[in-house]
Structure 1
Amino acid sequence: MGCHPALGNKLSPGQLSFPLEFSTIKPALRAFLATLFETNPFQYKPIFRGFYFTSALQEGETSSAAATRIANRFGLSAESMPKPQSAFSKNGFFLRDLFSKVIFADRQTVRQFASPAKTRMRYATFFGFVAVLALALGGWTWSTVNNQQLAENVKADLDNVVRLQQNRNDLQSRLQAMDVLEDRIDQLEQFRRDKPLAVSLGLYQGDRLEQRLLTEYYNGVRQILLDPVSQNLASFLKDVNAHPDQLAPLNRTPDAAAIPVSTHSAMTASGQGGLYSDASPTNVEDAYNALKTYLMLGDKRHVETAHLTDQVARFWRGWLETNRGNMPRDEMIRSAERMITFYLSRVSDDDWPMIDQNLGLVDQTRENLRRVVRGMPARQRVYEEIKARASTRFAPMTIARIVGENNTALVAGSYAIPGTFTREAWFQYVQPAIREAATKELQAKDWVLNTSAHDDLTLEGSPEQIQKALVTMYKTEYAMHWQKFMQGIAVQSFGSFGQAVDAMNRLGDPQDSPIRKVLETAYDQTSWDNPSLFNASLKRAQSGVTSWFKQWFSRAPTGQLNANIDINGNPVEMPMGPIGQEFSALGRIVQTGDNGSMLKGYMDTLSKVRTRFNVIKNQGDPGPGARQLMQQTLDGSGSELADSLKYVDEQMLTGLTDSQRKALRPLLVRPLMAAYAVVIQPASVEVNKVWNAQVYQTFQNSLASKYPFAGDAKVEAGAGEIAQVFGPDGSIAKFVGTTLGPLAVRRGDTLTARTWGDMGLALTPDFTNGFARWVAPLAGGAAGASAGQSSAEPQTVFQILPQPSSGTTEYTLAIDGQQMRYRNTPPQWTNFVWPNPSGSPGATLSATTFDGRTLQLVNEPGRYGLEKLINSAQRKRRPDGTFDLSWTQGNVTVAVSMRIISTSQASGGSSDAPQQQSLRGLRLPSSVADVSAAANSVAATNTASSAAPVASAVPAARPATAAVSNTGGAQ
């Protein structure tokens, strides 16, 4: 900072000495600054802006410290120093610049550093903004990558669809391609409803991808579904119009809301004889429903999902069967079901595919059907109109709606009840509509036939009669639909034991069991026509009122009172309707009494089954526990399954009519049958393990490589070794008596699997066919082991008749020390006994030629010598039961005849071998129970229940072995 004197202006000494004075205070200023900026925890660190010197009004004398210092340095006298001058100024110095250029100009800087909290807030805000920006950039990057991955996955799916159909034009590849698209569209639709954070943040591309996939999918729907169905519908309607005179009037009009059968039921219906499968062109109802379907597929404003589910499956099934090729039928049905459901679920889409209608065909069919419908009674038309309107207002009752989507894989239904026949429909619409129809004129419009009608039922009788007739019609059909629904419910197969444990954990849950939900829902939907609850409440209320009246009468001195009250407390019960009559048993099961409800008792039995399955699972290997449970079930004691079945038959179903039993018993019993079916497989594995350990390994290690089990073996099996495995006291007989005995029935030497609900072990044919031979008393060479235990060894007595032999002078046959020597003399029968305990075991045959040579044709030492002798011969059986045996060596042939006098062995029948029970070449099977057949029985239980849902018998799978079945228990 300096001063620049203006030319001609007189400067004061203070101004001239200011630089010197300023340099003088520099050390003090430096010390001040150092002290000011020292670390101080009690105040905020100051911001150094600079030093500013100002001077206000000046008064007094000026003294110069610099002049004094110079005088002292150079030794000048004080007199020579200039005298201080008086200073007076009316103006200040640097004040204007201080305020205008420093204080006012830096007011924002001062404000910025005036509050430490605000400074920290500014820092926090800045770094927070940076963090948010970084997080946003990271999130957008993450979302971009995920959206790119999603787009690549969709592209991969489209490539997979192309690859599946490349060089293939079969139905299987096309349905598989549609399944791929459905899976991806379902995922994108889920993303649209609830976008995951990974693909959102404003960058979601799924809507564009979904639209692209829907375009491809709808193209496939037109080719695979709509074209065949529309062609079949058009052909069917043409057949209807070809014979309009055969359309006889109906006793009731076609159901405007056709009974919706589930897709699976429609797909697996039995009739496959015609193109339309169950639809007849002379049946007015079939024609009406076909026309309705044709119109719905061309105009989605009238679409009814339940109706199309049934009719599309009906008119598509024939084309699917024709084009199925090598595709498994179950797989085709599953894919077709899913396609129909997926297609109908997207009816609200703007580009939902529809068919092109033949308007001329529609008009002609309408005209032919109008002629038939005109002759129907007005009461019937009104009733059908009420049903049609109700079906559009109330959702169908399905098993999925009752048990929830999570349990549809566990409990399935083959029938869906129209929404018309639900409790909500009755109270909210049908009952008021019937009451109105009985008292007023109704106008109805049928969009299918494009007709309108005016029906006044008051002309047919009193309102009470009309209302009673309509209500009876409705309740009768209501009961019919719910009967079909209950009979069509099936517990799905469990597959494996682990899946069975999971399924039983849900089925046996006392509070959330799907079976409990079904029964309680059915009771709630049918109890409104059963006044039993009201009668019970009325009885309790009347008992209280009656007691009060009795007390009042006892206090009354005289007089009579006429009142319509039963003093004995017997209420006048309301009559039960058709629905209540059919489902009264359901109310008896669900209602809670003094000892609880039967449903609670049933759930308790299922809970015990669940506990038993979990115990078996926790054992690690389910085999021993499964075999024990199966044995206890067959015995009927100690088994939770047998106890549950007994509870159902003896308590829950007692006193029920046949129709009530048909509706309730399958639902109650199928979980037990499915649980028992899944136990068979691990039990079969366990039986095979025991067989392998006790019998098969012993046979393989000690006998399989020896004669007679190995025909070319040189080492013979000892009689004791054979007796350890075969014979009445062998390990096979012991295995059957201990391990297999509780699971099978032995009648003599025939084994039959015991069954429970037509299910049991599937014994292999090799085991059942060979069992009698394996446990028969040992004979021949193998009988030595039992000879020491009995006084007489089983023997075979036979005779040999020699035949003349050219080229020999004589030949000798020796069997176990018994010898026959023949010299071409007249032959005679020679007696032999085998085995011969007094002779040396073995068999030899030698011949002497004309030149004196001795030929050894056969030489078989050992206990099996006779067997080897016979096996080495050429054999022929004669009609009289004798055998011709011959041996040849070179040009020498020796022939004899043999006849058996007595034997302990079975007859040979028509075989050419005299020894029928020989153990030669015998092999034991490695397993006695067919595990694959046991696994198939699980699926068979579900198949049986689906194929015949109305049968009262428990669904069962008959094992491969012959078995006498007993549905209610074991044999």
Structure 2
Amino acid sequence: MLKSILSALTSRWFLTLVAALCLGAIVWFLGPLVAVSGAFPLEDATIRLAAVFGILLVWALAMQWSLYRHRNANDRMVQALTKATPAAKADPDSEAVGQETDLLRGRLREALDQLRKARFGGKWGQRYLYQLPWYLLIGAPGAGKTTALANSGLRFPLAAEMGRAALRDVGGTRNCDWWFTDEAVLIDTAGRYITQDSQPAIDGKVWKNFIALLKRHRPRQPVNGILLAVSLAELAAWSEPERKGHAEQLKLRLKELRGQVGSRVPVYVLLTKADLIAGFAEFFDDLSREEREQVWGVTFPLDDGRKGDDAPVYRFGEEFDALTGRIARRVLDRVHGESDIQRRSLDTLFPAQIAALKPAIADLLMVIFEPNRYEERALLRGVYLTSGTQDGAPVDRLSEMVAGSFGLERPVLPAASGGRSYFLTRTLREVVFAEAGLVGADSGLERRRRLLRGGTMAAMLLAGLAVAAFWANSFTGNAALVAGVDATAAKAQAELEPLAAAPRSLTKVDDTDFITIVPPLNTLRAIPAGWTEPPPLEMTGGLYQGDRLGRQSGTVYGRALDAVLLPRVFLRVEGQLRHERGRPEYLFQALKVYLMLAGKGPMDKSLVSEWMALDWMASLPGPAYDGIRRDLRTHLDAMLAAPLPTLPLDEALVEEARQSLTNYPLAERGFAILRDRPEIQALADWRLVDNAGPLAGRVLIRPSGKPLSDGVPGLYTYDGFHKAVLPALPKVAKALVAENWVLGQPSSGPQAVASAQRLEQGILAVYLDRYARQWDEMLGDVVIVPLRSLNQAADVLNTLSGPQSPLKLWLTAMVRQTTLAPGPNDKPADGKGPVAGGPLAGVAQQAQAGEKAVESTGTNAAYLARLAGVSLQPEGPPPGQPINDHFKALRELVQGEGGAPPKLDESLKLLGELYQQIARAANAPDQNGALLAGLAGGGDKGAVAAQLRTLARDLPDPVGGMVATVAQSAATVSAGGARVQINKAWQSTVLPFCRAALDNRFPMVPNSPVDVTAADFAKLFAPGGMIDQFFNTNLRPFVDMTVSPWAWQKVDQVDLGIPPAVLDQFERAARIRDSLFPAGATAAKVVFEITPVELDAKATQVAMDIDGQTLIYQHGPPRPQVMKWPGAEGTSSVRLGFGPPLPGEPAGISRQGPWALFHFLADGKLESTPQPDRFTFSVTVGTRKAVFALRADSVNNPFGKNLLESFRCPTAL
């Protein structure tokens, strides 16, 4: 009885009823105190009673809805279970089976109807089929599942009415037994679902569909547990592979079940048919009924699934040994109580029979339940030995092992028979059913249900507590409010006293220190229930006292603002007027704010607020003053929200400010206002990159360094002019004239109208001037990229002259932007109507509107205009005509003049021809020849470049300069390309041989022991030799040989850019050619005359032999001797000797080889004279010396100083 009462008091319906009654009590007792906008809706008892009944009605409906949901879920489950599953193939010979099946299905419906009405106890007085715990019994065929349930000792409420067999072979799948007890629903599945060995595909699908059926109708907990049945007899008989295979099947079925259910389901392993273990019936024969119902097995501690080393399966061995030990302690009692010898033997060996099963059971459990890191392990709760009935031949494991070891015949035990069940009833009732709530619900679904239920209960509880505490808090808050107002007022009074600026006097304020006034003003504003914010909700409920206190505190705060803040703002603006005379626009705005504060003009609160905020940002900068600036802005807005007191003006200061502003053109200020208008700021910029085509970046750059994406502000575009500027001009002019009161001028009347018209024209003039400057700057800040190489020049010229020429697209786009007249709405001058023009767009629009009105009446417009004294023709040029005139030359360049072709097209055509020539040169097989021919006049490129330069002089700046620069750059690049090709030719044809023939050889390198061969020397330096031929072929047109030293000369206004030092070497090579290869000789030769001048006194004679040509001198008169090198004999030797021979001294010197003469001259001392063909040569041998006079046959001779020694093969040109 007590348990039933406690269950009812803790049920959900009772707790929710108590909550509803508490909420109703709160409404009844505290409702009259609730005020909403000054009204008390729950003051009437009838209304409160209706509210209480409404709460109870909501509770009743909620309970009924919950009951309906449970019933509906139960009905859906019953329908799903009783729905027939169509057979895959009907058997016409099985009509009796079909009739029996239909009868059993009908009986099941009757049973489920009874279950709908059955009362099983619980918090609600009844529990439906859906609410009972459900258990799934799985196992291999023949595992004893059905026998165990039939003899479990549980109560089956329908057995008396329908018979227990009626519950079998029914249900949605036709292959499950449904056992309905008053404590749980047990589902006995077919063994083939576990093994799936007959029809794997069909059995597997049916198994998964059945689990899905349970999940669909019991989403939170499809099953509360799994009873895993394993026959001990079969387990003992299986080989190790068979046992492992069966364990793998069970493990897979559990994994599939766990995957579909969504939670860890407790698994209870029932080792059935324990009665078939030899000695079972004899050992437990003395047990009473209550003792047979006890639990015989192992229940493991609850597994949290976290630690793998603490899994329950690892404890089985220890627990099973304890179970075996418990049986062993009972053996002695059984032996003493048994008189039959054979039965005593069975009793004695029974513990050993049980122990012999341990390895097989342990192996099975390890395969199924051993944890691994790759999957969540099953929740093993226990292992239990059971027996449903005693039938069949016992299994004697010990006898089998002994017989197998010694080759004996296996003994055959008599078959057992009996109808008693062992160790089932309490195992199911006290272990399995008692843990019905152990299974975890689907985590996602359970989380949502738990949050919803907890949130609902918490909301109801909090609502009740909140209402109960509301009025108590309101009373306390209002009491504190009154005290707070008193305290804050006293504090504000104390802070205001040092300022010496009581509300009664404004004349004492003579500073602009805003920082010191912020604390007292903050205090006044923060008075509870005052200015700061509306009444807090927690202090309402009919008890709020802030309304009366707020009106008084607001008045005090407003007076303080007028007394403390307003004078300082006024003084600050006066200071701005005194010190900012050089900034007209700033001065005008400051004067306007000053007059507004003094009440001398219409108040613009937003202007005053923004003006002072910007001033405070400048005078109190930085993050440190953020709070002060924010507070000052708040106080200023509060002050401006109320009428301001009248303050005395400084008339002289105002007059000075107005006088200064007269020097600032009003049109300039109007343009500044026009420029800052939102619709003007929203205009998109005109960008060159958007208008010059996708190839603009390849050929155009800006010398200023700005990117091509930087453009002209949208204010200075065709659309900006016509769509934004012209419509805004009248508004700006009107607004400026409306502010004439700031300057002391009339802001209304006929004079103001005329002033607005003049101002509109002035603003337009300023705007057009800046318009022209913007586009002049853009035009002057775009040039063609420099040409640096032949290929790049060809690419640039091809792009410039192509159909999508960025140059043409850019200039065409500029013409569109600089041709402001006619406008987009102007009519063509066809004589059918006026052209919308005039000085202003407004005039044009009015004329067009008037003309349309006249045309709509079908009346003669000209006749009516004459009668009215109005001209329909525009007065003066269109508004944008000055820009048209300013860029007339550019427009004619792009569009042509008088029907003539545009000069821009002619320029692009010539650029195309220049591209073709450079491209041909760049791609020619003999690129060097092509380039040199073009530069030297052998092609027509020079003519094209000249034509471009001539045409550029007729083009407007800066386009003409661009074209001229391109022509010059093309020639320069061609020269550069020619130089590259010349250098390649030099380095590939001449330089290798030159260096191999001359480097480190005499006479190019003095004192070198290796001579340049005569053939190599002639091959290099002879007329028509390698150097002479290379020079004449590649360089001669570019060299001025009329001067000495030679100099580079320009061809087609460019030179090759080769350094002068290189040219010096070619000039030296020419001198070597002329001096050693006279008259076009093919071999080097020298003709000279040598005359003895002086002979040492120690010698009687000196004899000289130059290649067979002899000169002997014996202190007689000198006689000149003509010598040739090489001589006729071709000995290639030079000898000189003194006579007579002196002891210890050499007799003379001798040289051999092609350069013997020059070696001989190098051995002596060769000195030049003022005459280039005359030299003095002295030679010393030992202590004797001879001097000769040497006269070359030409001034071009090889005896000059450093002629041969200074020549070096240029490494690069």
Q: Please give the TM-score of this superposition, normalised by the length of structure 1.
A: 0.46
Structure showing greater Rg: 2
> Relative contact order (alpha carbons < 8 A, sep ≥ 6): 1 or 2 greater?
1
